[in-house]
Chain A
């Protein structure tokens, strides 16, 4: 299963993947390209492509859409100043034809921070209601305390596998 993980820089993408594997999350440097992680999760083989989210790297995201089974969009729920930027980039991505069939998981990350927007408000700010015609779920999480990560990845592998089952 090919999982594409994108979002603005500093959202916590790399930390989430490391945390999922119980790795040290104290020494993560900004991603200047991709970090691919090949791992198994609940018996499924995942190839997670975590792509750098800095403005200069975003035009290259489109090179990674092919064959993507799931898209994980990671949001820094406490970065209120860049929510609008985040909303625009997300909806740009969802217009991409090659990603139409992909499962969509939105991680509302950094929920451990007191000022983080709760999921309901985040959904409004990101206009999640306008996303129809695809399997989509928003999951509150924190890469620091680990909450929500399993729920999110569970949704991803179950949704992909049910689709694969349906069409095979």
Chain B
């Protein structure tokens, strides 16, 4: 397999097929502990998940279905989410005993196989055995009513790939699918 670099994933024009690195590419013990999405103005929680760090490493060989369960998420959001003006996301993660020299996240969002948004964030260095957080507060562009309707009537057509690189080497790749329901 060709080396997957940030440039490569930034050139994708539709969701990646399959996972572009094995689970054990994450040799740094990076684990996500908490992810939260809130509407900023009302402080309403839209999504929240938290977990303790793994007590045991994953087995070497995983059933593909179980692997998919670990690496992909299906989100169901209220349609009003598409009308939020300002969104706040919080990601909390820990790293293992090795220093992480340069962590970068690239997230690509597609709707009906068309690129709609890219997030590209450089965390940089992570301290050994640290727990870190990244909170982003950002304004969401206003969607025309037709677009909102399109998202609502096309469940799971919104997909995303999240890629994590250390020194430009892919160490994690997760996927998500979204549906929006009328509230």
- In the bound complex, residues from chain B placing their C-beta under 8 Å from that of A35 are 132-135
Q: How many residues of chain A have a CB within 8 Å of chain B?
A: 16
Is B179 part of the contact surface with A, judged by Cβ < 8 Å?
Answer: no
Q: B interface, how many residues as a size bin?
A: 10 to 19
Mask of B113-129 contacts with A, CB within 8 angstroms, 1/0: 00000000101111100
A40 located at the interface, meaning its Cβ lies under 8 Å from any Cβ of chain B in the complex: yes
Contacts of A1 in B (CB 8 A): none
Give the number of A-B contacts (CB < 8 Å).
52
Any chain B CB within 8 A of the CB of A21? Answer: yes
Contact of A33 among B132, B137, B138, B139 (CB under 8 A): B132
A64 touches B133 (CB 8 A): no
User: What residues of chain B lie closer than 8 Å to A52, measured between beta carbons?
Assistant: 127, 130
Chain B nearest CB, measured from A66 CB (Å) = 8
| A37 at the binding interface (Cβ < 8 Å) | yes
* B181 contact set on A, CB distance < 8 A: none
Q: Is there contact, CB below 8 Å, between A33 and B127?
A: yes
Partner-A contacts on B (CB < 8 A): 94-95, 121, 123-127, 130-139
Interface residues of chain A, those whose CB is within 8 Å of chain B, are 21, 32-40, 52, 57, 60, 63-64, 66
- In the assembled complex, 27 residue pairs joining A and B whose CB atoms fall closer than 8 Å, in A order, are A32-B131, A33-B94, A33-B95, A33-B127, A33-B130, A33-B132, A34-B123, A34-B127, A34-B132, A35-B132, A35-B133, A35-B135, A36-B134, A37-B136, A37-B137, A38-B121, A38-B134, A38-B135, A39-B136, A40-B137, A40-B138, A60-B125, A60-B127, A63-B125, A64-B124, A64-B125, A66-B124
The 9 A-B residue pairs whose C-beta atoms are closest, nearest first, are: A33-B130, A63-B125, A33-B132, A38-B136, A39-B137, A36-B134, A32-B131, A60-B127, A35-B133
